[in-house]
Chains A and B, each alone.
Chain A
C-alpha cells in the first residue's frame, strides 16, 4: 500500500521560500516545466509573501518536515463591506516534478494523481480554516475554465453534505461560494 504523505497549508518564511524557489527552478531547468513559466510564478510569489488587505498572498503546501513546498496557492482577502469579508483561493500550482508526473502515461501518473488530490485537499481545507481565523463571512474558490467550474460544482455538492458546521454552497460567476448556515 502506498504511503500517504501528510501536507500542511502555511505561509512562507524567507527560508522556505528560498528552498522552494531553488528546487522548483532546478526542476524546471531539468525539463519538468517551462523555465519561464516557473520563473514568472516564483517572481510573482516573491512579491506576495506578506498578507496585505486586498492583495494576493502566496501560501505553500508543505510535506511534513520539508522546507520545499509541493504547491503554491494564491489567496486574497477582500473586505466587501464593513460586515462582509471574503477569502478567495485563486489558484493552486503544483511543484514541477509532481505536475510532470501527473501528465505522464506510466504508473507515476496514478501516484501523482493521489498526491495532487492530497495537495488540493489541504489547500481547500487550509483556506477554509484560514477564512474562519480571519473572521471572514464568505470563502470563494475560483474556477477559470469550464472544466474547473464543472469540478467545483461536484465539490460544492459534497461540501453541502457536511454535517458539522453546515455550509451553503453556490456557484456565482466563476466562483464556488461557501458560507456557514445554522
Chain B
C-alpha cells in the first residue's frame, strides 16, 4: 500500500500586533481617508438591526 500524504491547508491563528503599532496604522488610515470619509463611515453604522443580522 502506498503511503498517502495528506496536506492540510492549515490556517494560522491570528496574532495581534502591538497596540502602539495598530494605533499608528489607524491614525494613518484616518489621515489618508480624511475626516469627511471617516465621519461618513461612522454615521453609516446607524442602520437597522436587520442589516447586521444579514451580515452576521
Contacts and interface: CB of A to CB of B under 8 A. Distances in A.
Interface of A: 37, 40-41, 44, 55-56, 74, 76, 78, 83-84, 87-88, 90-94, 99, 102-103, 113, 116-117, 120-121, 124-125, 128-129, 131-132, 135-139, 142-145, 147-148, 150-152, 154-155, 157-159, 161-167, 174, 178-181
A24 B40 CA distance: 22
A142 B52 contact: yes
B42 A94 contact: yes
B51 interface: yes
B29 A158 contact: yes
* Residue of B27, B43, B48 most packed against chain A (CB within 10 A): B43
A121 B27 contact: yes
**Interface SS majority for chain A:** mixed
Interface of B: 8, 10-19, 21-23, 25-30, 32-33, 35, 37-49, 51-53, 55-56
